[in-house]
Amino acid sequence: MNPHSFSYFVRITFIYYCLSTYRFFAYRTLLTFFLLTASQAFAVNHYEVVINKSVGESNISANSLRSVFSMHLKTWPDGTKIRVFVLADDDPLHQIFSKEKLNVFPYQLRSTWDRLVFSGTGQAPIKVNSIEEMFEKIISTPGAIGYLWRANINENVNVLTIK
């Protein structure tokens, strides 16, 4: 092998190496973008508002939903009690739910509930400590409403669509 061909060889190998590295980066960037958009699309719809099977409703207006979680609307249209279950204020699902579905910040919900409880004009929602407990309560409490990750939803609860 003459020195020229060697240098060509080195150059070509180097170019190939560069290309492959570039391709790797390009793919990785593409993949990252894809994953990001995918996860964002996923984030919008990977939880649902759920209700106890006894509730004869299949949808609710955004306005009424806000009123339910503000603890102002207290009965289902058939006159039975609404029982509201929530996770802790700093729970990720609670935060996403309040911002996306109710369009309020968790601290605003908290102050709304505190105003009701300590003036006696209303009650606070019932706090559960985990997704599992939320699921249990929704199944076992007549008139219950709450929210769950899609992965935790099965045929034992009903999903409420927001109009």
- Binding residues vs another protein (CB under 8 A): 61-64, 66-67, 72-75, 79-81, 83, 88-90, 103-105, 107-108, 111-112, 114-115, 117-126, 137, 141-142
22 vs 112 by CB, closer to another protein: 112
First to last CA, the chain: 76
Tokens 């509930």 correspond to 113
Reading the block at residue 25, the tokens are: 């980066």
Give me the least distance between CB of 89 and another protein, in Å please: 6
Reading the block at residue 29, the tokens are: 């960037």
Give me the least distance between CB of 139 and another protein, in Å please: 13
Reading the block at residue 101, the tokens are: 């579905």
Which stretches of the chain are assigned E, i.e. beta strand? 47-51, 59-60, 83-86, 126-127, 144-149, 158-162
- CA–chain centroid gap for 81, Å, is 26
Give me the least distance between CB of 118 and another protein, in Å please: 4
128 vs 148 by CB, closer to another protein: 128
Give me the least distance between CB of 133 and another protein, in Å please: 10
Give the DSSP letter of residue 48.
Answer: E
